[in-house]
Structure 1
């Protein structure tokens, strides 16, 4: 019976991915920055563990609790929709600490056991923003594009040891807490300087009015496919809008 460790499982893609792997008979280590009851069903094959990807000691402790891990899914992330001019550098660093450096830290912590065992898969959940030119996403896209580049090189470094690295690129999903935080009026307004406001309002209207969207289940199923892929494929768009962007690219 294999074990997957997934970060950011309190809601959205992480929660759905945990449920999907559990339904397939896997052991699931479901990590959250602040664990709470009721997010996932009780099961002897599912453990909720504290892990904050920006706190190295919690990464170490979570891996000690997990024991042998076959797959790491780096899903934890924070959203940001903003105009770059109006985004404080402290906010930029916060996004990179979680979305980029957190992925690197968690990956680095699990690699010794993968390398020594000669097997293992790292799946880094990025975003379809890396597939096209999207406004209001300069900082967020940069944090995810960095992970794409990191994973591409990492995959080459790990291949001699039988370890694989992949990225999953979810499209736009409006039903997650992640999306709600990213598009909430107050959070958005404070990062949109007045001269940009009319343009930004139109951009957001076009975004929410698009004809294709991603579901949480699309991402969970794509992570599952990425984990089991042995063709050497690196990138996996998730959701019909992400697939369309990837095909256009």
Structure 2
């Protein structure tokens, strides 16, 4: 029985991904900062562990408790929407600590066991914001774009050891808690000078016909974890797939 460890499982993509792998018969290690076992049905194949990807001691403790794993899904992330001009550098660093350095730290921590066994898959969840420029998400996009470059390079680095590294790029998903989770962080990040422009962006988002659902991302992670063709990028959601096609044309 294979084991997957998924970060950021308290809601959204991580929760859907953990549930999907469990439904497919895998053993699942669902991690989150504050454990919520009530989010899952009781099962001997599923454990909920505390994990803060910004804290080395937390990463080490979670991996010790998890034991050997076959797939790591780096999904934990935080959102940010606002004018870059109004974004404190401390907030920028906070976003990078989770979205970029947290992913790198988790990846570095699992590489030894994958390399020694000469097998394993690392799936990094980024965003379709890396596929096409979007306004008012410059910091968030930068944190995810860094992981795109990191993943592409690392895939070459670990290929010789039988370890695969993949990207899943979700589209716009209005049903996730992206805005809710970052509400305090985003306070006052749209100053009056930017308000009319921000309203036009919000209006544009409400008119998006094709959006991404949590299960779309879970399915994309599943495909990435099982890929044997050497595919690096897996857009998730109809809108992300359309952007990917446009970027490739």
> Deviations along 1:108-147, whole A, 9 cap, x unmatched?
0000000000000000000000000100110000000000
**2:93 is the counterpart of 1:82:** no
Q: Distance in 2 between matches of 1:87 and 1:208?
A: 24
TM-score where L is the length of structure 2:
0.97
> Deviations along 1:148-198, whole A, 9 cap, x unmatched?
00000000000000000000000011111124335x5x7655101211110
Find the partner of 1:207 among 197, 205, 208.
Answer: 205
Cα offset for 1:204? 1.2
User: 2:13 — aligned with what?
Assistant: 13
Cα offset for 1:55? 0.6
Unaligned runs of 5+ in 2: none
User: 2:243 — aligned with what?
Assistant: 245
User: 1:190 — aligned with what?
Assistant: 188
User: 1:30 — aligned with what?
Assistant: 30
**2:124 is the counterpart of 1:131:** no
**2:115 is the counterpart of 1:115:** yes
3-state SS of 2:166 partner: strand
3-state SS of 1:233 partner: coil
Q: Distance in 2 between matches of 1:201 and 1:5?
A: 39
3-state SS of 1:38 partner: helix
Q: Distance in 2 between matches of 1:179 and 1:22?
A: 28
Q: For the Cα contact (< 8 Å) 1:33–1:51, is it kept in 2?
A: yes
> Deviations along 1:194-224, whole A, 9 cap, x unmatched?
1111011111110122111000000000000
Q: Distance in 2 between matches of 1:97 and 1:155?
A: 22
Q: For the Cα contact (< 8 Å) 1:79–1:140, is it kept in 2?
A: yes
Q: For the Cα contact (< 8 Å) 1:100–1:143, is it kept in 2?
A: yes
Q: RMSD in angstroms over aligned alpha carbons? A: 1.1
**2:50 is the counterpart of 1:55:** no
**2:160 is the counterpart of 1:151:** no
Greater mean alpha carbon deviation, residues 145-154 or residues 194-203: 194-203
Q: Distance in 2 between matches of 1:179 and 1:214?
A: 15
User: 2:45 — aligned with what?
Assistant: 45
Q: For the Cα contact (< 8 Å) 1:30–1:49, is it kept in 2?
A: yes
Q: For the Cα contact (< 8 Å) 1:124–1:166, is it kept in 2?
A: yes
TM-score where L is the length of structure 1:
0.97
User: 2:173 — aligned with what?
Assistant: 173
